[in-house]
A and B are shown apart, each in its own frame.
Chain A
Amino acid sequence: MANPLRAAVILFPGSNREGDVARALRQATGVPPTIVWHDDRALPPGTELVVLPGGFSYGDYLRCGAIAARARIMEAVRAHAADGGLVLGVCNGFQILCEAGLLPGVLMRNAGRRFLCKTQHLRVENASTAFTRGYAPGQVVKFAIAHGEGNYAIDAEGLAELERAGRVAFRYCDARGEIGGRANPNGSIDDIAGVYNDKFNVLGLMPHPENLVDPLVGGIDGRPMFAALAAA
C-alpha cells in the first residue's frame, strides 16, 4: 500500500487490548500503529485513525472509563474527532468515549451481574460507514465480548435520535440474526452493541472485532472492519 493508514492507539494505565488492536491494524495496513501515551498532549502528525483499546483503564475506578476520559490526550482526540478524523473505541474504549461525551449514553453493569467472556453474534445495522463498508447490511458477524459493564443505557429522546439517524452500528443477535430475548447478553437497551456519533466518524462498541482476525482463534469476522479502515 502506497500510503498506509496512519493509526494511533492510545495507551492508558490499565489498557490491555492495545496489542490485539495493533496486530489487527498491522495485518490490515501493513504497518504497525503508533502507540500514544495517555499523558501526551498531541497525536502524531497526520494521524487518521485513533483507537481507544479495551482493558480496565485506572482499574475501573469511579466509573468505567471516567478517569481516562479526562486524560490529557483526550483533548487531542476530541479535536481530531471534531475535524472529522476517525475514532474507534472498543469495550473500555467505548466506555471512555461515552464518559468523554464523544458518544451519547453510558455503559452500566450487566443486567445479569456477571462478567461475560464469550463469542457473540452481532447484526450489522449500518454498513455504509468508514468502519463497516466491508460488511453487507444486516450481515450477522461473530465477535468476542469480555465485559462486566456493557449494558448500554440512554434516555428515550437520545435513543429515538440514534434509531432515527441510523446511528446504531451493531445489535446483539443470535446465530440466525434474530434479536431480543436471550440473544441480548447484558440488558442493553434496544439490543445495542455499538453506536456512532452524529457524523459517523466516531464508533464505540463493546464487542472486540480485533480478536477475530485470525482463523487460529475462531474466526475472521473482524477483518472487514480493519480492511475498510485501511482503505479509508
Chain B
Amino acid sequence: MKTRVIVTLKSGILDPQGKAIEGALRSLGVEGVASVRQGKVFDIELDAGDRAAAQAKLAEACEKLLANAIVEDYAIENG
C-alpha cells in the first residue's frame, strides 16, 4: 500500500527555513507570496491489512519517530 505522511511545524513555531525560502521567492519576482512554511513528506510503502490498520501503523511511526510532537503536527494520507 502506498502511503504518505506529511509533517509540518505547528502554527506559531518560528520557521527560519520557510522565511528564507519566502524571501528567495520574492527576490525571484514570484508575486503574491504571502508566507511560506516548510515541512517534510514521507512516502512509505506499507504492508497493512486495510486502511484502518495502515492508519494505526503510520500514527505509531509518527509518534515514535517521524514527528516531534512538541513542535510538529502530522497528517496521514493512505489508500
Contacts and interface: CB of A to CB of B under 8 A. Distances in A.
Interface stretch (B12-20, B29-37, B47-55): B12-20
Interface string B27-66: 0000000000000000000000000000000000000111
Provide the main secondary structure of the chain A interface. loop
A105 B17 contact: no
B65 A66 contact: yes
A9 to B, nearest CB: 25
Interface residues of B, number: 13
Contacts of B13: 108, 153
Interface string B4-27: 000000000111110110000000
B16 A111 contact: yes
Given A62-B65, A70-B65, A113 B16 contact: yes
Interface of A: 62-63, 66, 70, 99, 105-106, 108-113, 151, 153-155, 187
Interface centre among A62, A110, A155 (most CB of B within 10 A): A62
A109 B15 CA distance: 8
B17 A99 contact: no
